[in-house]
């Protein structure tokens, strides 16, 4: 992860947690693809809003965030352990039925994304499901708060996924959100299923 971006979330954890919006409407569809009480890894859990729903639905949840400060806030809110873990520290193999990464992998530098996606592929069990969302664009850069974004075009992102391991695309859609810096962003939401190599 970009160090400047990580420091932003470390220094602004309380403000970001207070801003965090309601859980994504896509979460219920994601959970419906998993076995009951299945194991989920959440990357970049932020304030823990999505993990709260997963836990309430009876799933086994490993919640993580790159910012120790954010992880502590989420842990207190959830009454459930939240690990401070960077994406490149993920080393699990065949451990999860699902990986949920809402608006977090968009901060991974472009030349590092394939490696992170390969780690996620390894961490999933055969036929495991992976959700991630990205801010679409044509070239990486920073927002008004200095946060790095990889801003991928769809074709580049699909090629990067393909290089990281075999997947089947289950759904791909777009929507517009308002970012923390109050600017609109076009989001690409991808749900894929692991194909065992």
Rounded to whole angstroms, how far apart are CA atoms 195 and 19?
Answer: 37
**Percent of the chain surpassing pLDDT 70:** 99
Q: Which of the four pLDDT bands, split at 50, 70 and 90, describes residue 184?
A: confident
Kind and range of the H or E run holding 30? helix 27-32
Rounded to whole angstroms, how far apart are CA atoms 39 and 45?
Answer: 15
Residue 19 has pLDDT above 80, yes or no: no
| Span 87-97, average pLDDT | 98
Rounded to whole angstroms, how far apart are CA atoms 53 and 120?
Answer: 22
Q: Which region among 11-15, 68-72, 83-87, 163-167 has the lowest average model confidence (pLDDT)?
A: 11-15
Q: Which of the four pLDDT bands, split at 50, 70 and 90, describes residue 40?
A: very high
Residue 63 has pLDDT above 90, yes or no: yes
Residue 137 has pLDDT above 80, yes or no: yes
Residues 6 or more apart in contact with residue 30 via CB below 8 angstroms = 98, 100, 129, 131, 191
Q: Which CATH class for the 3-194 domain?
A: alpha beta
SS3 84: strand
Nearest to 39 by CA among 95, 123, 80: 95
Torsion sign (Cα): 89, 75, 129, 169: negative
Stated length of the chain: 197
């Amino acid at each position: 992860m970009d160090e400047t971006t990580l420091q932003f979330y470390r220094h602004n954890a309380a403000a970001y947690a207070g801003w965090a919006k309601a859980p994504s409407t896509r979460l219920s569809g994601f959970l419906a693809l998993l076995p009951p009480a299945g194991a989920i890894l959440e990357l970049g859990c932020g304030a823990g809003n999505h993990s709260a729903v997963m836990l309430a639905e009876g799933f086994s949840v490993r919640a993580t965030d790159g910012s120790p400060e954010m992880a502590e806030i989420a842990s207190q809110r959830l009454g459930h352990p939240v690990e401070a873990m960077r994406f490149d520290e993920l080393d699990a193999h065949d451990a999860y039925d699902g990986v949920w990464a809402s608006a977090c992998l968009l901060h991974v530098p472009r030349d590092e994304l394939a490696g992170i996606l390969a780690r996620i592929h390894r961490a999933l069990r055969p036929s495991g499901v992976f959700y991630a969302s990205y801010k679409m664009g044509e070239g990486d850069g920073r927002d008004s708060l200095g946060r790095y974004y990889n801003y991928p075009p769809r074709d580049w992102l699909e090629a990067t996924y393909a290089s990281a391991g075999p997947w089947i695309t289950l759904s791909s859609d777009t929507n517009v959100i308002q970012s923390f810096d109050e600017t609109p962003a076009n989001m690409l939401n991808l749900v894929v299923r692991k194909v065992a190599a």
